[in-house]
Chains A and B, each alone.
Chain A
Amino acid sequence: MPEISNSQAPVQPEPSPPDGQQPAGAAAAEGSAIRQFLLLRGNSAIADRGFHWLMVLCALSIFGIVALIATELVVRSHLAWSQFGLGFFFKAFIDPYSKLPMYWDPVNGHFSALPFVYGTLVSSFLALLLAVPLAIGLAVFLTEMCPRMLRAPLAFVTELLAAIPSVIYGLWAVFVLVPLLREHVNPWLIKLLGWTGLFNDDNPTGLGFVSAGVILAIMILPIISSLTREVMNAVPGSQREAVLALGATRWEMIRMGVLRNARIGIVGAVILGLGRALGETMAVTMVIGNTPQIQRSLLASGSSMASVIANEYAEASGDLHLSALTEIGLALFIVTIIVNALARLLVWAVTRGAPAQVH
């Protein structure tokens, strides 16, 4: 650790005047009480080193926590892993009586994570589909078009959306969003897009992938929008001027001078939003319907990786059931870490000015 040897370096060459120099030092410092006081202060080397280690400990504890979570997940999911192997995420069981695929049957000890992986992916991508255009539009408006007076309040309200607890989103979805979708939006989707097979009429509750996707979209909107804003602000003004000087309209300037330069960072912002959507638990659990099935219709109810853990962990019926849930948790943990790391890297690439070395 280089920092430690650095911090020691200035301590050593410093001569230690205090005791031995008493006669000469006293004579020299006689005129100034402040000099005398400072002379007696010492160099606080021990306190300084202690502080250094305390801070190192704080920093390391982050890695410690991540490592502990990972080990615990690995150890507790071992039973399911040894029983089902990698097929846990891909295979279905065939029900001997109905001959239909079965995924999640705690009573008979059949566990497959496939419907939860499916549910997580479908609801998250629906969320991205809805949130990304809205978030980028919002960011463009806030950075390039909004009158200065409105900028701060609008940005503030957007950020506030991120601070609302997810259970509140869930409640709002249950009481407002789901009835709204059920009564007014879903019938339209069925009528207009029913022919695709993606919107079927056989779920009267309104709880399902579409509801989960919409509420997720609202929840990830602030993070995508504020990061997009950050990378757009990082684009130097000289790029905007260069495009304007060629005779560009405002929209052309935004497209060529801003969005084009910020695109890597915007991709990062979107992936970060995806990371949020993948791991979001409470609101999704409240509106997705919680049935471990795979159906083509987006209006059908389903279940996600996070929601099945939240629903079943407290009342799991046996060691294998618990272990299977933990394995889903482990998979979610790994995927969200990778997705988030990737996203942060992309955003850094832009805000640190890596591609725009010109300036």
Chain B
Amino acid sequence: MGVGIEVVNLNAWYAANHTLQDINLNIPANHATALIGPSGCGKSTFVRCLNRMHETNPIARVTGTVRIGDLDIYKDAKPVEIRRRVGMVFQRPNPFPTMSIYDNVAAGLKLNGYRNRRLLDEIVEQSLKDSALWDEVKDDLKKKSGASLSGGQQQRLCIARALAVDPEVLLMDEPASALDPVSTSKIEDLIFELKSQYTIVIVTHNMQQAARVAEKTGFFLNGRMVEFDSTHKIFTNPSDKRTEDYITGRFG
């Protein structure tokens, strides 16, 4: 089961560039939450703060509080521990090209020393089923490399890889922006399926996508969160003029 995320006064910088300013919000457990906004508005930086990936860049800095479940991730835990509990799927599919499909999915578990072969087999199968890839790859799990799949399959493989460690939260940074429409709709169906088990935060450029998959939507602009509400409200009756301008296509 997923857990909720509470963000209080989050600020983030790249060198002197103040990319996130005073972000406050509560992301509900076991729902999909979409973050929309024009390029460079800080939405990607925001999700990267939720698993402390932001700070892997040496010029980056973060202040504020992020609570995932009961865990204050900037105070009570090391980045490594948090990233085991918070899965992430990136904009471009990045499977490990030198590993088989099986090893790609099992990578997170093997990394942490999980060696039970029978359980590994089960988890790999379950994760690939959960990511709707199993039927396409079950015959050459160990024969084909992760790089031999199509772009859409690679992205679902990356989702399976993230799911295999049974995370509480799944972060998706524009997971479909590099994919064709058919693959995109498969990913969206998947998000719809997965949100009953995981808390999903999805960054997207595509407003229809947010409307299709998410219960809650946040609108980011220039490093600030302008509005956060139910997706229905954001798209039909936003309270802020800037949100309205953005969703009606006046800018962005």
Q: With a CB–CB cut-off of 8 A, which chain B residues contact A260? A: 96, 98-99
B147/A242 in contact, CB under 8 A: no
Give the Cβ gap from B110 to chain A, nearest Cβ, in Å: 9
Q: Which residue of A lies closest to B104 (CB)?
A: A242
Interface residue total, chain B, C-beta cutoff 8 A: 32
The 8 A CB mask of A343-359 against B (1 = contact, 0 = none) is: 00000000000011111
Most buried by B among A248, A252, A356, A358: A358
Q: With a CB–CB cut-off of 8 A, which chain B residues contact A177? A: none
Give the Cβ gap from A24 to chain B, nearest Cβ, in Å: 56
A246/B94 in contact, CB under 8 A: no
Interface of A is mostly: helix
Most buried by A among B96, B158, B162: B96
Q: Once bound together, how far apart are the Cα atoms of A125 and B71, in whole Å?
A: 53
A245/B111 in contact, CB under 8 A: no
A148 at the interface (CB under 8 A from B): yes
A249/B80 in contact, CB under 8 A: yes
Which of B85-93, B181-189, B234-242, B243-251 participates in binding chain A?
B85-93
B93/A244 in contact, CB under 8 A: no
In chain B, positions 96-120 with a C-beta closer than 8 Å to chain A are 96-99, 107-108, 111-112
B199 at the interface (CB under 8 A from A): no
The 8 A CB mask of A239-257 against B (1 = contact, 0 = none) is: 1011111111100100011
Interface size grouping (class) on chain A: 20 to 34
In chain B, positions 72-96 with a C-beta closer than 8 Å to chain A are 80-85, 87-88, 90, 92-96
B165 at the interface (CB under 8 A from A): yes
Q: A241-B94, A242-B158 are in contact. Are A247 and B111 (CB under 8 A)?
A: yes
A76 at the interface (CB under 8 A from B): no
Pick the contact of B162 from A243, A245, A256 — CB < 8 Å? A245
Cross-chain pairs A/B with CB under 8 angstroms, 18 sampled: A148-B58, A238-B94, A241-B56, A242-B90, A242-B158, A244-B56, A246-B107, A246-B111, A247-B81, A247-B108, A248-B111, A252-B111, A256-B96, A256-B107, A256-B111, A263-B98, A358-B93, A359-B92
Residue positions of B touching A, CB distance < 8 A: 51, 53, 56, 58, 80-85, 87-88, 90, 92-99, 107-108, 111-112, 146-147, 154, 158, 161-162, 165
Residue positions of A touching B, CB distance < 8 A: 148, 236, 238-239, 241-249, 252, 256-257, 260-261, 263, 355-359
